[in-house]
Amino acid sequence: MTTVDRRPEASSARRLDVETDLDPANLILVLHFFQTRNVTPLRVYARRVAVDGYAISVDVAVSDMSLEVMKLISAKIAEMPFAIRSAVNECGLQPPS
């Protein structure tokens, strides 16, 4: 019996990098954009950043979403009052810097 690996290719993943105000609710708000499209991210990585610790960096890796939709999500997040920065990267699943 042959098994088929249906996992998405890590090399085809796109990453949404978001920096937000320090509030745990912002993680849910970022992920909500994927939930409404019925997309489960390959990976979500969040960490507290900045010398004073007043920001959260969120890295969401997705493989089954077009670049245009990812850019639209990034633009919508950038309009939110909690967003400091939002960008889409097409670099697979390398660890965030």
The pLDDT tens digits for 46-83 are: 998 876 768 889 999 998 889 999 999 999 999 999 99
**pLDDT value of residue 4:** 44
Average of per-residue pLDDT across 2-15? 58
Residue type, 92: G
The mean pLDDT of 25-50, rounded to a whole number, is: 92
Q: What CATH number did the domain enclosing 78 receive?
A: 3.30.70.260
How many domains would you assign to the chain? 1
Residue 2 inside a domain? The answer is no
pLDDT at 64: 84
DSSP state of 12: G
Q: Does residue 51 lie within any of the structural domains?
A: yes
Asked if 8 and 42 count as a contact pair (C-beta separation under 8 A), the reply is yes
In a domain, residue 56? The reply is yes
- Nearest to residue 81, comparing CAs of 1, 20, 6, 7? 20
Q: What is the mean pLDDT of the chain?
A: 83
Q: Is 43 a member of any domain?
A: yes
Here the tokens at position 21 are: 């105000």
The answer to the question of residue 7 being in a domain is no
Count the Cβ atoms, other than its own, within 10 Å of residue 49.
15
Q: Is residue 78 part of a domain?
A: yes
Per-residue model confidence (pLDDT) at position 28: 94
Range of the domain at 47: 13-89
